[in-house]
Structure 1
Amino acid sequence: MTETNTAEQQPAESLRDLATQAAVLKLLAERVAAAQKDVRKRTQAALDTAAARDGVERIAAELPGGQAVATIGLRKGETGPVVVDEDAFARWVRATFPDEEWTETRIVRTVKPWKAAELLAEMDAAGTAQIADKVTGQVHTVPGVTIRPTRARTHGITWRKGGKDATAEAWRTGALAAQLAAITAGKEDEAA
């Protein structure tokens, strides 16, 4: 039997049913994305508050019946050196290392990307916007660079074994109806 014969024997899906399914899934995806963004922001704020107040950095996610399905935990942010004034940084590199060709003169002086990365890595390792000259030992405060957050503190979800299946089953049976109501509510429902 050829593939054509097999395809011809199977009932064709209704184009109208497919169009409806596509529209419903698109709406659901849009609402889920908006709800996820909102709950992620609120969860982060609550975790940050709990961590500062009580030292809590993780919490179990439980289904209405009490079954723990996942753990939500803080992930630490990172700080590091960031060039905030390219011109000041380039002038400092040129003045501090005049014999090196680590800068380029265009309309403005810039530091070659590979050297900027190397210098920023040194500052990152030291935890300060300072460089110690390897030849003279002199410590330079580097203008145009500051230490600030480079990646925000966030949180992640770690599913427990069987947690996804249990959550899907709770969704299927309606046990999560209260939690999902806001996602499926229309604008007129949200105002009520």
Structure 2
Amino acid sequence: MSTEQPPEQPAESLRELAAQEAVLKLLAERVAAAQKDVKARTQRALDAAAQRDGVERIVATLPTGQQVATISLRKGETGPVVTDEEALARWLRRTWPDEEWTETRIVRTVRPWKLAELVAEMKAANAAKVADKATGEVFDVPGVVIKPTRSRTHALTWRKGGEAATAEAWRTGALAHQLAAITAGGAE
């Protein structure tokens, strides 16, 4: 058995680590801000292109012409949103007094499991209306409106080898123009 110790690695300088952390924090903050900005501008451009020409996706291409990703439009969703739970609870109590949809506290509220059922029914109908299962009567539901529940957005999907190609283009400086705003000087 050998008692020989492996050669000691030089310890990293605390100053070097602190400097690296500061640089990476600044870079991460600038990248996050730039990404938020470009996502918003991309969304506006995609929305306009979809309305004007029916475009729903676009290819991301490097300066070399290599296609590295696809950006696809995702449609938003519209559905029922409870805006006045107290009005809804009063209506439910009047409409179906024998049902155990509500409970009495200081304020009448709708039981969460029953509210989920109602919202699902209204979402399926895309209307703030529910039908009485026994009579078939359809009711307008107070305290609920149909409105956007998720914004229209888009998603980026990497093509095979796209991430590696983009990283290489960044490493070689081919993306300097696209990254100029992130690396430019100036205080925020």
When the two structures are superposed, what TM-score results if normalisation uses the length of structure 2? 0.94
Residue aligned with 1:178, SS: helix
Determine which structure has the larger helix proportion and give its number. 1
Residues 43-192 of structure 1 aligned to structure 2 (within 5 Å) = 43-187=42-186
| Runs of 5+ unmatched residues, structure 1 | none
- RMSD between superposed Cα atoms in Å: 1.6
Could you tell me which residue of structure 2 aligns to residue 41 of structure 1?
Answer: 40
Corresponding letter in the other structure for 1:173: T
> Aligned-pair distance for 1:49?
0.5
Runs of 4+, deviation exceeding 2 Å: none
User: Which amino acid is the alignment partner of residue 92 of structure 1?
Assistant: W
The alpha-carbon deviation at position 10 of structure 1 amounts to 1.5
Deviation track 1:129-171 (CA, whole Å, cap 9, x = no partner) reads: 1111000110001011111111111100000000000000000
Cα displacement (A) at 1:176: 0.3
For 2:14 and 2:172, the matched residues in 1 are separated by 29
Q: Does 1:25 align with 2:15?
A: no
Structure 2 CA distance, aligned partners of 1:31 and 1:45?
21
Number of aligned residue pairs: give it: 186
1:107 positional shift = 2.3
For 1:58 and 1:9, locate their aligned partners in 2 and report how far apart those are by CA, in whole Å.
Answer: 54
Deviation at 1:187, TM superposition (A): 2.6
SS in structure 2 at match of 1:131: strand
Give the CA deviation at 1:102.
1.2
CA distance, structure 1, for counterparts of residue 183 and residue 94 of structure 2: 62
SS across alignment from 1:187? coil
Deviation at 1:20, TM superposition (A): 1.2
Query: Secondary structure of 2:149's match?
Result: strand
What is the alpha-carbon distance in structure 1 between the residues aligned to residue 11 and residue 110 of structure 2?
63
Superposed CA deviations along residues 86-111 of structure 1, whole A, max 9, x for unmatched, are 11111111111101121122222111
